[in-house]
Structures are given as structure tokens and as C-alpha cells.
A = this chain, B = another copy of it.
Amino acid sequence: MEFTAWFGRLNINEQGEVTDCQPFSKDPDELAERLLAFQESGQNVRLQGIDLRQTASDCGFVELDEEYDVLLRDVCIRAAKSRISSNDTDDVRIIQAVQALDDIDRNVNELSERLLEWYGAYFPELELTGEALASFVTSFGSRANVPAGHPLHEKASGSMGAEISFADEELLRTFASNLCSLYDTRRHIESYIVTGMGSLAPNLSDIAGALLGARLISMAGSLQKLASFPSSTVQVIGAHRALFKHLRSNTPSPKHGIIYNNIIIKNAPWWQRGKLARAFASKISLAARTDLYSGKKNPSIRESMEKKLNAIRAANPSPPKRESKPTGKPGPKGRGRNRKGGRR
């Protein structure tokens, strides 16, 4: 039988003895590549009982034991490095971008509240917040610089705010311009995510929107993981607290996780949300799987989703009559207990 060791092909007879050995060339890069390809092919051949070191020197691959050690070490390090550098896939990049977006959002909010409070002492009548405030402060600084034609000129000239000194104005302008560029970066990252999702997961972006799709990939860990989830899991990704509370005790199960952020769910009346979320999540799963295995855009997913959603909307035009509270009834309680028992 023929086997492959890291340094060459071996022929082993039924007694476990090496009868023939064809060593590869001694180039470490080539050997590392072979090693990786061999590991990825999944052929887990067991070479136990054979002294590889002895075989390698017998067949003339190396002359000294030290040479074997040094070469093996070198080949393994090269293989590990090349695996690290190939680890940077499209979805890893998108996940990083989504996390950076969240970080920037949080920080930008905090800094713009600080700006609001700080600049409020000088122009309390200004009703701008967030980016509008930052760009106002960046372009004008002191409220005395608002030109006569500007819509805020009247407010600025009659403001009860304090007079701003030159040093304060400079400082606030620097601070505000930082904030403006953070907002710009935020937009830059957002468009990066949209572009990246268009090539990584065109169907998912089409169904769920690029940002929601990216966030789903980020929470799942990778596109592959997202595609492997059942759609009931996709439906509640991001609702961990509610889900585990439901599993632990007698609370209703969550109807939707972060997919709530899509207008399909968000703008739906409450009695349709659960049904719509189920249909929506199943189409997200389908889209993620299509993206993973074909990578081509398939417009029929969107069409069938629209049909399904419209059918649900048509079937539930008005709110159902609220029944008396189910809490305390034996049915749901028993179910809750069973589930709890089954889980633990």
C-alpha cells in the first residue's frame, strides 16, 4: 500500500515494513504546501509503528538526524504561517468592519454628547445634535461667526450663551472636526460593508439588506456557520436573553432577534410579526446557503419571499381577539416544564 509522509511517498507491505520510498524535493516551501494540501484533503493515514526518522535517512532524504529535525521544524512553521495568512477570508474582514462600525457608533455618541454639553454653554438655543452639531461647530466655532443669511443667524445673535474665548473656540473646533471625521469614517465603513457584502453574500444582502446581513454573519461567526444554522436559530439570533429566559422559565419565546431591524418586521403590525419573522428567517437561511455554495445571485429567493410575506399579510388582516391570559393554565406550564427538564 502507498502512503504519503511529509517527506515522500512510502510503500508499506502488510507486515508494516517500508519496501519503497520516493522522497520529495528538499525545498521547504514546497514541502509545507504539500503538507497543507495533504491535511486539507482529510486523508488521515495512520503511520504509527513506522520510524519516519529512520525511513527518511534510509531512503536518502536526509543524512543526519539533526537535518531531519531542522527541516521538519522549518516546514511546520512555514505551514502554520501560510495557514495564518490564508485565514483572512472575506467574512472575517466583514466581521471586523461590523465590529469597528459598532465601536465607532458607541464612541461617536459619547463624544457628541460631550460636545453638546460643552458647546451648550456658548449657544444654548442651538437645537442641533450629533453630526449636524459637529459640522456647525467645525464651520463656525463661535456663534458670532454665523453669517447674516444663515437660518440660525437670528438665534445666534440673540443667544443668551456666554462669550467664547479664542482658546475655547479653537479647542471646540478641533474636537468637533474630529467628530466629523469619525462620522465620515463611519460612512466609509458602512459603504465598505455594503460593497463587501455584495460580493461575499449577494443573496443575503438582497434579502436582509447589507448591514443586517453583515451583522448576522458577525454574530454567527462566519458565513458558513450562518448557513449551517437552522432558520429558527437565525430568527432569534441576538435575542439570547429572551431565549434563555424562555427556556429556563415560563416566559413566551422570543419572536425575533436582530432581524427585527429590517423594516419587514419593524413596520409590521404586532400580530403579524411572529409569522413574518419566521418566513423572513427561513429565506435568510436559504440566501446564506445559496451564497455559500453557489455565490451567484438568485432573484427567485426574493420573489418567493415577497409572495410568502404578502400571503401572510393577507391572511392576518386584523388583530386576533386577545384570549384570557394563558399564564397559570396547565397546558403551557406543563410544556415549559417539560422543555426545561429536557434541557437540563
Residues of chain A having any CB pair with chain B under 8 Å: 80-82, 84-88, 92-93, 96-97, 99-100, 103-104, 106-107, 110-111, 114, 117-118, 121-122, 124, 160-163, 167-168, 170-171, 174-175, 177-178, 181-182, 184-185, 188-189, 192, 195-196
Least Cβ–Cβ distance between A189 and chain B, in angstroms: 6
State A107–B175 Cα separation when bound (angstroms). 13
State A131–B110 Cα separation when bound (angstroms). 21
Residues of B within 8 A of A85 (CB): 160-163
Residues of B within 8 A of A117 (CB): 96
Residues of B within 8 A of A111 (CB): 103-104, 107
State A93–B166 Cα separation when bound (angstroms). 13
Number of copies: 2
Not counting A103-B110, A107-B111, A171-B192, a sample of 16 additional A-B residue pairs whose C-beta atoms are within 8 angstroms of each other reads A80-B160, A81-B160, A85-B163, A87-B121, A88-B161, A88-B162, A88-B163, A92-B121, A93-B121, A96-B117, A100-B114, A100-B175, A103-B114, A107-B110, A175-B189, A178-B181
Among all A-B residue pairs, the 5 with the closest Cβ atoms: A88-B162, A81-B160, A107-B107, A85-B162, A96-B118
Residues of B within 8 A of A114 (CB): 99-100, 103
Does the CB pair A88–B185 fall under 8 Å? no
Does the CB pair A185–B174 fall under 8 Å? yes
Least Cβ–Cβ distance between A303 and chain B, in angstroms: 31
Chain B: CB-nearest residue to A97:
B171
Main secondary structure of the interface of A (DSSP, over half): helix
Cβ-neighbour of A124 out of B84, B97, B182, B188 (below 8 A): B84
Least Cβ–Cβ distance between A331 and chain B, in angstroms: 48
Does the CB pair A192–B163 fall under 8 Å? no
Residues of B within 8 A of A93 (CB): 121, 168
Least Cβ–Cβ distance between A280 and chain B, in angstroms: 30
Residues of B within 8 A of A106 (CB): 110
Does the CB pair B178–A88 fall under 8 Å? no
Least Cβ–Cβ distance between A264 and chain B, in angstroms: 30
With A103-B110, A103-B111, A121-B88 already in contact, the answer to whether A188 and B163 are too (CB < 8 A) is no
State A35–B81 Cα separation when bound (angstroms). 78
Residues of B within 8 A of A160 (CB): 80-82, 84-85
State A340–B161 Cα separation when bound (angstroms). 46
Does the CB pair A185–B181 fall under 8 Å? no
State A99–B110 Cα separation when bound (angstroms). 11
The 28 sampled A-B contact pairs (Cβ below 8 Å) are A80-B160, A81-B160, A82-B160, A84-B124, A84-B160, A84-B161, A84-B162, A85-B160, A85-B163, A87-B162, A88-B162, A93-B121, A96-B118, A103-B110, A103-B114, A104-B111, A106-B110, A107-B107, A107-B110, A107-B111, A167-B195, A171-B188, A171-B189, A174-B185, A175-B189, A178-B178, A178-B182, A178-B185
Residues of B within 8 A of A96 (CB): 117-118, 121
Residues of B within 8 A of A182 (CB): 178
